[in-house]
A and B are shown apart, each in its own frame.
Chain A
Amino acid sequence: MLRRFTLKALVAAAVVALAAPIATAASAETVAIVNARILTAGSAGEIANGTIVIRDGTIAAVGANVPTPAGARVIDARGGVVTPGFFATGSQLGAVEVGALGNDLGVRNPDVSAAFDVQYGLNPLSPLIPVARWGGITRAIVMPEAQGGGDGHKDDAGTTADFAGSGPDSITHALFAGQAAVIHLGAGVDILVRPKVGMVVPFGRAGARIAGGARGAEIVALKALLQDVRDYARNRDAVRRGGYREMSLSIADLEALVPVVEGRMPIIAEVSRAADILALLKLAREENLKVIIRGGEEAWMVADQIAAARVPVLLYPLSNLPSSFERINATMENAARLERAGVLVAFETAEGGAHRARETRYDAGNAVAHGMSYEGALKAITINPARIFGVGDRVGSLEVGKEADVVLWSGDPFEPLSQPLAVFIQGRQQPMEARNLELRDRYRDLNGAYPLGYK
């Protein structure tokens, strides 16, 4: 078992972190974290007591018998846990500040739907990013927000951030919500890792609303749109000259969908109900689409079919209520059952994984408490999302040659009572500072002579 870090050790580690140079210089630094329990999320599995060496932004060595390189800065983990940085999958990070004030993820423009690309609207200086880092989050999959659904914060004024409803007139172009991107959460002004990693498409009730009111209409509409894309791909010049039949999407949208019909870009299908998942899998077979299931509350009921189709599932492990008629069979054991069926699973976080992205590690713990393997839950927030979104060769596990997204924890990272002691992103140690901590420190002592703003 792990020795729990004393407060003294924790403070000492924080001081080390604060004293460390960051950004530019730090990437050249060589760091060795020693005496750590290392959860690699890779083929080496768990290393009970090992060393990890970070050099030139990548992992230079990891293992039980790794020598500490000469000149390396040594961090003694004293039995703490080292993990890969975690992913916030299905996140709004970098594209939202205050939830109620909107975000840069929802588009209502008949000429920009599939073509919408979140990469151009990201704010690397968002104060949410350092807050998320304190949850061990080092990467995020930022996703467009589909119309017809919505996953905003429901407050007790009874209002939900509602992106629902295109009204009585259907606007089927909105079946494509746009393209997701992978970002890293390192301090600096460039956080984009990989754009165009998936095309968000709502299914079930939300998709039906957009398509005019019924589920059956959506599948038909999608097939017609995809046919337009194929026609466009074969007749680009004619379409652009206007010498071809009228298309149902703008040229920009058609162009954005070419990788989808060619099976190079997955669709991120927002779908909950078991029957809708089967309809989705059938559509994917017929149209040769690469598919990622998002939501998937009833995925466990059709786990074998999902596994056979080799379709990954992004799910929120705490979604266990029959909050709609599409989620009647939602259960805390969804992740465990999918794991047993051999489905590749990644976890999403509450409310779009922005302000609450730091809760991802507890969500993983809850999945373990409800039957998932520890290793499976760890992978669901590290290597699995990395693989699903095409960056698994670069990040997501602690293996030699990979970018060094590394977090040192005081104990089991799934436990709320554990805290991160050091966070490295692409080999750079991150400042352990954030707006919430500045507020905390400002208001620690309420009785000074001067107003607190002078602190």
Chain B
Amino acid sequence: MAALLAGCATDGVGSPSGGSASGASTPPKPLPLGLAQDIKADPFPSTYRPLPQRPTAIVGATVLTATGAQIENGTVLVRDGKIERVEAGLAAPAGYDVVDGRGKWVTPGVIDAHSHLGVYPSPSVPATSDGNEATRPNTSDVWSEHSIWPHDPGFDTARAGGVTTLQILPGSANLFGGRSVTVRNVPSRTMQGMKMPGAPYGLKMACGENPARVYGGRNQSPATGMGNVAGYRNAWINAAAYQKRWDDYRAKVEKGEKADPPARDLQMDTLAGVLRGDILVQNHCYRADEMAVMIDIAKEFGYRITAFHHASEAYKLADVLAKEDICVATWAGWWGFKMEALDGIEENAGLVHAAGGCAVIHSDDDTLTQRLNQEAAVALSAARRAGLNISEADAIKWITANPAKAMGILDQTGTLEAGKRADVVLWSANPFSVYAKAERVYIDGALTYDRKDPRFQSRSDFLLGMGGR
């Protein structure tokens, strides 16, 4: 117990009295929050609160649980913000609001693993186009949450498409673009009011053409693929040294020795967080050969790549990606807009899935995020055209359970399982149909969007009094 407390104290950010529990005769004074390196400390804590809610029973629907099951005539019980029960033929208990799901479909809330809502909002104007700190190739010190404009009308249109959770990433101009943040798709005055409690941070990294173009164009490094790789490796060497300085300092403090704390470095904080496994690597990388190099770099420095994003060529490396347990967040229809996307095919997700991998359909786009179910349908249709036998019960994972895994929140959401956050979409039809619309969207059990009731359709501040509406 003492050791546990001591461990806590050496972090330097425990309760003010925590430091005295270390047992040393002259306990060092804990460092102020801003000067101690502690990845778990969050100086911008979530203030998210679910909307008001009542116990709810959706009855009689076809339910895709995203655990591989399709339940006909299913009932989904929601209580206290959690999924309570999912079962066929279950009657609604007394005291529950009953929603008639007959002829309709229910899925977990859609999760977009790659969004720039808020950081590249509508309208697209320089004042708020804040997704790329394209001033240095390594900006792992910047956090996307500090660019989020919570009034982006795109959050509202995404919610109408069933999106309940999003990972907001910095752009891909840099080798290290900065930290991503996971948000609940609720209207809020502040970014903190959307921030998902307990969700790990991500680190946006970028392979390929973008960093080399942005910096090469300025006659700086990186200008080439090999310059990119040198940039990653140099940064990890520095991050490991930084982590060691803090480890040495903590060891001395723990022994009661006098020690000066190292200077804190925001850039290195994030990278060291990756090395310790607290921050998940979200790696923009189109080409299979570049993914293979990135995997080797991760092994060289002892970190994990959680997901490759865009990953147009993942199907060329599907076996390796499955073995390394790296998720693939991709599109179905986008290809050819630049050289590294030339070999993108609609079957990418299906082939990754068939190889036993974690396929994710993402948007990277404020329009596509409104229809991730349709993009998954395009991918599923192409997979079936190729003879792959994939069920809708499995394919729904591409926009629910698998992005939750890629964002490190699968223990909280992404499937309809008892005890998880009640993030639920009621669809007017099979969500793999182009005609299906999200009728009701629940976030933590609270009705947050209702297509048929304007009282549950939030509108951005920006649109008030605009354009004669």
Report A's interface with B, CB cutoff 8 A: 7, 10-11, 97-101, 128, 152-158, 274, 298, 301, 318-325, 327-329, 350-351, 354-356, 358-359, 362, 365-366, 368-369, 414-419, 436-437, 439-440, 443-444, 446-447
Contact = CB atoms under 8 A, between A and B. Distances in A.
Interface stretch (B68-76, B218-226, B229-237, B379-387): B379-387
Contacts of B214: 157
A250 to B, nearest CB: 33
A354 B120 CA distance: 25
A346 B90 CA distance: 47
B291 to A, nearest CB: 14
A94 to B, nearest CB: 14
A365 B333 CA distance: 16
A416 B284 contact: no
B374 A157 contact: no
Interface in B121-146: 122-125, 129, 131-132, 134
Contact of A322 (B129, B370, B387, B463): B463
B171 A158 contact: yes
B318 to A, nearest CB: 7
Given A98-B342, A322-B466, A355-B334, A440 B435 contact: no
A415 B124 contact: no
Contacts of B206: 157
B427 to A, nearest CB: 12
Nearest to B336: A355
Interface in B180-234: 206, 209-210, 213-214
A443 B351 contact: yes
Contact of B333 (A128, A324, A328, A358): A358
22 contacts: A10-B385, A99-B338, A153-B338, A155-B338, A156-B169, A157-B132, A157-B171, A157-B173, A157-B210, A320-B367, A322-B463, A356-B333, A359-B333, A362-B378, A365-B434, A415-B433, A415-B435, A417-B380, A419-B385, A436-B345, A444-B351, A446-B319
Contacts of B337: 98-100, 152-153, 155, 351, 355
B305 interface: no
A324 B338 contact: no
The 5 closest A-B pairs by CB, nearest first: A365-B434, A328-B467, A153-B337, A100-B338, A416-B377
B122 A322 contact: yes
Contacts of B339: 98, 100-101
A415 B434 contact: yes
Contacts of A328: 123, 463, 466-467, 469
Instruction: Summarize B's interface: helix, strand, loop or mixed.
Output: loop
A369 B153 contact: no
B118 interface: no
B123 A324 contact: yes
Given A158-B129, A274-B468, A355-B334, 9 more contacts: A7-B389, A157-B172, A157-B206, A318-B370, A324-B125, A359-B378, A362-B434, A416-B434, A439-B345
Contacts of B159: none
Contact of B435 (A10, A153, A369, A439): A369
Given A157-B173, A365-B434, A323 B374 contact: no
B116 interface: yes
A223 B40 CA distance: 65
Nearest to A350: B367
B371 interface: yes
Main secondary structure on A side of the interface with B: loop
Contacts of B269: none
B157 A321 contact: yes
Nearest to A14: B385
Contacts of B385: 10, 419
Contacts of B444: none
B304 interface: no
Contacts of A7: 384, 387, 389
Contact of A419 (B114, B171, B209, B381): B381
A356 B336 CA distance: 9
B315 A440 contact: yes
A444 B345 CA distance: 12
B116 A156 contact: yes
Nearest to A369: B435
B380 A156 contact: no
Interface in B385-402: 385-387, 389
Contacts of B48: none
Contacts of A158: 120, 129, 131-132, 134, 171, 173
A439 B334 CA distance: 15
B246 interface: no
Nearest to B116: A156
Contacts of B316: 443, 446
B153 A156 contact: no
Contact of B434 (A10, A101, A366): A366
A436 B385 CA distance: 13
Nearest to A158: B132
A14 B114 CA distance: 36
A90 to B, nearest CB: 16
A439 to B, nearest CB: 5
B87 interface: no
B123 A325 contact: yes
B417 interface: no
B11 interface: no
B153 A362 contact: no
A436 B116 CA distance: 28
Contact of B172 (A152, A156, A318): A156
B456 interface: no
A414 B433 CA distance: 9
B336 A99 contact: yes
B432 interface: yes
Given A362-B434, A440-B351, A155 B210 contact: yes
